[in-house]
Amino acid sequence: MLYLVGVVAFALAILLSVSLHEAGHMITAKRFGMKVSRYFVGFGPTVFSFRRGETEYGLKAIPLGGFCKIVGMTPQDDDVDPADEPRAMWRFPVWKRTVVMVGGVAMNFVLAIVTLWIAAIFMGLPNPDFPTTEAQARQEPAVISIADCVVVENAARACAPGDPASPAAQHLRDGDRITAINGTPVANWGEMLQVVRATPPGLATVSYVRDGTAGSTQFNLASVQRAPLDGNAETTTTVSAMGVGLDIQTPNMLTYGPIDAVGATADYTGDMAVATVQAMARIPEKVPALWDAITGAERDMDTPISVVGASRLGGEAVQHGLWEIFVMLFISLNFFLGAFNLVPLLPLDGGHIAIAWFERARSWIYARLGKPDPGRVDYFKLMPLTYAVILIGGAFTLLTVTADVINPITLIPR
């Protein structure tokens, strides 16, 4: 039940983001005096609508987005009433048209940034110092968690019947910080691994700190097969093991006060902006991996997801009480929507902005050359490219939706 609630909640969050995006266009257009004839949430058949002033507002049956109709977005629009000609969007100065087209993107970015600021105060933001690689983890204090067993062979797997018990289980506790092995001091997890592996299997003296009090104990180290810590993963040797894991002490999330949250939000916004652009640049190379996921291969966690996949992840996050993941997914979605819509291709907002400024630059150059203004760009001549973008975008959307249905990315391994 919680999973379904999460799926629906995230789908509504997506709808909210898209609807506010369109509201950004509508509000700025109205502010400048352009005529907005329609603003609808959803697509397809109309569920209900009402008219307020000159604009029709309504809800459509398919909740997969929204739209607003600004009269005369291009000079080629043929549905402009003669009485509305002076208010056609294309007649307005280029900077006003730019503001209107950026208004939707700005809504997504503002929504993401405000949500980040609130999250920084009440939930926390990811700690940039949290170890995300093996090398970083080895710099953590050697605070341990007791393993259930020792896997003798060099394999990353869960405990199985017949595996020997952890040697440390009867002598150490979760949260103990190891300080020395046979008198050799260790400052962090990486040093502890090196010293333990260099110690012959058998009896060893282990020094530790527990609740601020130093202590020591003796027990037999297990004999296991492991690859070198910094070497060829295909080569294994016989080394010692204590049967413990790393209990990372660096907090994963950091909370801030309202003032400090401003700086943290700014830093994280910059990181997300870079990550979003990099992820968008990698999309073409991820298409083969998406196809492989559909045809039976393991789903690459780094492949793009659709609104279906995002909603499923949102459902999982709610199901397992991982609200921070739900919120970060929502923030990431708005960053992506904002950045993607700035791509300078029709029918995206960035395409309209690029054309407006191309017209302005071309007119300026012609004026300097003493030539007559060439006028507006003929959108009809750009339709083949526009249709190609729509076709490619539709095919990619279908590919990601199919992958998210057949072989979805999950938070908890299946």
Which residues, 6 or more positions from 109, have their beta carbon under 8 angstroms from its beta carbon? 334, 335, 338
Can 140 be counted among the known catalytic residues? no
User: Which among 131, 32, 64, 73 has a CA at the least distance from the CA of 349?
Assistant: 73
Q: Is the dihedral of CA 166, 172, 174, 176 positive or negative?
A: negative
DSSP letter at 143 equals: B
Strand, helix or coil for residue 228: coil
Per-residue tokens: 254: 């950091």
DSSP state of 257: -
| Residue 314 CA: distances (Å) to CA of 14, 101, 127 | 11, 30, 21
CB neighbour list of residue 403: distance below 8 Å, 6 or more residues apart: 290, 293, 294, 299, 303, 306, 309
Where would I find the beta strands (DSSP E) of 20-154?
Answer: 36-52, 55-70, 125-126, 144-146
d(CA 167, CA 240): 11
Q: Which two tokens stand for residue 5?
A: 């609630």
- Classify residue 162 as left (phi > 0), alpha (psi -120 to 50) or beta: left
153: helix, coil or strand? coil
Please give the structure tokens belonging to residue 161. 């019947």
Task: Please state the φ and ψ torsions of residue 179, each to the nearest 5 degrees.
Answer: -115, -20
- Per DSSP (E only), the strands in 228-337 are 237-241, 244-246, 253-254
Q: Cβ of 321: how many Cβ atoms within 10 Å?
A: 10
C-beta separation of 209 from 232 below 8 A: no
Residues annotated as catalytic are 22
